[in-house]
Structure 1
Amino acid sequence: MSELKRGYLFGIVAYGLWGFFPLYIRLLLPAGAMEILAHRVVWAVAFVALLLTVVRRWPFLRELARHPGTLAGISLASALIAVNWGMYIFGINSERVVETALGYFIGPLVMVLLGVVALRERLNPTQWTAVGIGTLAVAVLTVDYGRPPFIALTLAVSFGAYSLVKKRLGLPAAEGLFVESAVLALPALAYLGWLTARGDSTFGSGAGHTALLVVAGAATATPLLLFAGAANRIPMTGIGILQYIAPILQLGCGVLIFHEPMPPARLAGFALVWLALVVFTIDGLRTGRRRAADRDREPVLTA
C-alpha cells in the first residue's frame, strides 16, 4: 500500500471514529458531562504516557521546559479543547447530537473567519459568499431553535481557535496531546476526588461502566494519532474533504439512531450550511489546482 493510500485510510478511520463517538458517549450514562470529561482527560494522559514510553519520546519534555512561551500556548490550547470536549459531551448527553453535528459542519467556515481576524488573511468573493450563506444558515436555525445554536457555535469557535493555536505551536500529535491533557489532569483529578467524596461518582459502580470510563483515554487519543498520520501523508484538500465524514455520521446517529427531530426549518438551515460548504470546497479545490499548475510552470534553474 502506498503512503498516499495509507494516509487516506488513516483519515477515514479517524473521522469515522469521531463520527460514531456519540454512541460511545451515550454508553457512559449515567455519568454526567463533567465526570466523563474528567475521566477522558485522566485516562488520555495515562494512555499517551504509555505510548510515549514504548516509543521512547520522553526527552521532548526537557526541550519544552526551555520554552515558556510554548508552555503558555499549550495551556491555552488545553483550555480550548476542554471547552470543546465538555460542550460536545454535554450536547450528546442532553440529546442534541444533531446540533453537535452542526458545530462541526460550520467549523471550516469559522476557521476561515478566524484566519481573517487573527492572521489577517484575505478572502476572495467566493469564500465570502460561502461565509454569507453560512451566516444565513445560522440565522435560520436560530429561528427554528428559538435561540442561537450555542452548542454548535461553541464547538465551532473553540475547535477553530484550538486549531489556530496548535498550528502556531507545531507540536507532534502524541507529545502535544500528552502535555495538553497533563495540564488538565490535576483539575480533573481534583474534581473526581470531590465527586467521590460526595458519593456522586459513577466510577466503580459496575465493571462494564468502569471499563468504559477507562477506555475513554484510548478513545480520545487513537483518532487524534490516526489524524496526524493522515495529515502527514495526504494533501490538505484531501483532509478538507475527509473532515465532513464525522459530522455526516454524527447527524446520522442523531436522526436515525437517537431519533432527534429534524423539522423542515431545521433541515433548510442544514441545507444552507451544506450549500456553503459545497461553495467553499469547490473554491478550495480550484485554488489547489491553480497553485499546482503555477508550480509546474515555474522555470527550473540549472547551474
Structure 2
Amino acid sequence: MRSAAPSTQGAGLAFAVGAYGLWGLLPVYFLSLEPTGPVEIVAWRIVLSLVFCFLLLAVTRGWASLRRTILDRRAMLLLGLAGALIVVNWLTYVVATLTGHVVEAALGYFLNPIVTVLLGVLVLHERLRPAQWAAIGISAVAALVLAVGYGSVPVVALTLAFSFGFYGLVKKKVGPNVDAIVGLTVETAWLTPLALGGLAILAATTGLTLGAAGPVHLVLLLSAGVVTAVPLLFFAAAARRLPLTLVGLVQYLAPLLQFVLGVTVLAEPMPIERWVGFGLVWLALLVLSIDLVVAGRSPRRASLEPA
C-alpha cells in the first residue's frame, strides 16, 4: 500500500502541471483564433464544451450522476450561479487577451488565492492565522501600488480574481457529490441558450467567423470544448491524488506562464510601479504558501507524537 503512494502522487503532480500549464498557455490559443471576437469565442466555448461533456458522459457512463444532480434543485441553482460567474470570468479573460492585457489577466490569477482567503473570512466567517492576515495586508498595498502604476484601478485583474473566487466558493457549496464532468455539463447547459442567442445575433449582424477563416482556424475554433474541458479534468484528477497544499502551490504555474508570455512574447509594458506591485503580490503569495505548508505539516507532526 505504501509503495503505491509515491506513484499516485507522481501522477497527481503530472495532472496538476498539465492542468495549470494548459491554463497558462490559453492566451496563445485565443490569439490564434483571430479574427474571431471575444463574444463568439466564449459562445462557441460554451456550446462545444457542452457537446464534449456529453461525449465524456457517454464514455464514462455518468448519466446516473447527471440525473441525480438534475433532480437536486439546490445543486442545479448553485451550478447555474457558478455558470454565470464563470462566463464573466471567461469573457473578461478573452477580452483581456485580445486587447493586450495578458499581464493584467495574470495579475488577476495571482490575486485569486488572496481573494479566496478573504472570501473565507467575509462569507464563511473563517478565522485567519496571522500570516494569512499579513498576506492580505501586503496584497492591499500591492493593489494600491498597481493602481498607481496602471493609472487606474486594475479592473480586469480584480474582475478575474473575484469572479473566480466566488466561482470556487459556489462550487464549495455544491459539495463533492457533483464531479467535474457533471458540474461543467450543468454549468454550460445553463449558459447554452444565452450562447446560442449570442451566436444568432452575431450571424445576423456582423457574421460568424466559423468556417470563414480557413481550415486551420476552423479546427482551432472547434477545439474550444476540448481546450476548456481537458484542463478541468486534469485538475480533478490531480485534486484526488495530491494534498491540497501541493495543489495550491502548483496553481501559480498558470499566471506565471501568462505573465512571462505577456512580458516577453507580447512585449506588454512593465514600468517600475508594476514591477513593485507584482513583487508585493509575489511576496504575499510566498507568505501564504509558507503558512499553507506549515499548517499542512502540523497535523501530521501531531499525529506522529507518542500518546
TM-score (norm. length: structure 2): 0.95
Alignment match of 1:172 (pick from 160, 176, 179): 179
Alignment match of 1:267 (pick from 268, 271, 275): 275
Q: State the distance in 1 between where 2:266 and 2:306 align.
A: 54
* 1:213 alignment counterpart: 221
Q: State the distance in 2 between where 1:131 and 1:295 align.
A: 30
Q: State the distance in 1 between where 2:70 and 2:293 align.
A: 40
* RMSD (Å) for aligned C-alpha atoms: 1.1
The answer as to 2:105 corresponding to 1:100 is: yes
| Cα offset, 1:203, TM superposition | 1.2
Q: State the distance in 2 between where 1:296 and 1:76 align.
A: 43
The answer as to 2:81 corresponding to 1:76 is: yes
State the one-letter code of the partner of 1:58.
W
* 1:230 alignment counterpart: 238
State the secondary structure of the residue aligned to 2:268.
coil
* 2:48 alignment counterpart: 43
State the one-letter code of the partner of 1:217.
G
Q: State the distance in 2 between where 1:89 and 1:211 align.
A: 19
TM-score (norm. length: structure 1): 0.96
* 1:119 alignment counterpart: 124
Q: State the distance in 1 between where 2:102 and 2:206 align.
A: 29
The answer as to 2:152 corresponding to 1:147 is: yes
Q: State the distance in 2 between where 1:199 and 1:159 align.
A: 31
Q: Residue deviations 1:34-68, cap 9 Å, x none? A: 11100100111111111111111112232123211
Alignment match of 2:305 (pick from 289, 297, 302): 297
State the secondary structure of the residue aligned to 1:2.
helix
Bigger drift between 193-202 and 231-240 goes to 193-202
Q: Residue deviations 1:57-116, cap 9 Å, x none? A: 112232123211111101000000000111010110110000000000010000000000
State the one-letter code of the partner of 1:218.
V
* 1:157 alignment counterpart: 162
State the one-letter code of the partner of 2:76.
L
| Cα offset, 1:183, TM superposition | 0.8
State the secondary structure of the residue aligned to 1:31.
coil
* 1:191 alignment counterpart: 198
State the secondary structure of the residue aligned to 1:122.
coil
Q: Residue deviations 1:143-168, cap 9 Å, x none? A: 11111111000000000110111112
| Cα offset, 1:199, TM superposition | 4.0
Q: State the distance in 2 between where 1:185 and 1:33 align.
A: 16
- For these two proteins, the number of residue pairs brought into alignment is 299
| Cα offset, 1:240, TM superposition | 1.0
Q: What's the % identity of the aligned pairs?
A: 47
Cα 1:203–1:233 shift into 2, 3 Å: same
| Cα offset, 1:298, TM superposition | 7.3
| Cα offset, 1:294, TM superposition | 1.8
State the one-letter code of the partner of 2:198.
Y
State the secondary structure of the residue aligned to 1:231.
helix
* 2:284 alignment counterpart: 276
Q: State the distance in 1 between where 2:187 and 2:153 align.
A: 30
Runs of 4+ aligned residues of structure 1 deviating over 2 Å after TM superposition are 295-299
State the one-letter code of the partner of 1:153.
L
Q: State the distance in 1 between where 2:232 and 2:70 align.
A: 24
| Cα offset, 1:200, TM superposition | 2.4
State the one-letter code of the partner of 1:88.
Y
The answer as to 2:33 corresponding to 1:28 is: yes
Bigger drift between 227-236 and 65-74 goes to 65-74
Q: Residue deviations 1:2-24, cap 9 Å, x none? A: 11100000000111101111000
* Structure 1 gap segments, 5+ residues each: none
* 1:181 alignment counterpart: 188
Q: State the distance in 1 between where 2:296 and 2:67 align.
A: 39
* 2:3 alignment counterpart: none
* 1:17 alignment counterpart: 22
Q: State the distance in 1 between where 2:295 and 2:226 align.
A: 37
The answer as to 2:137 corresponding to 1:132 is: yes
* Structure 2 gap segments, 5+ residues each: 1-5
State the secondary structure of the residue aligned to 1:175.
helix
Q: State the distance in 2 between where 1:298 and 1:229 align.
A: 35
* 1:7 alignment counterpart: 12
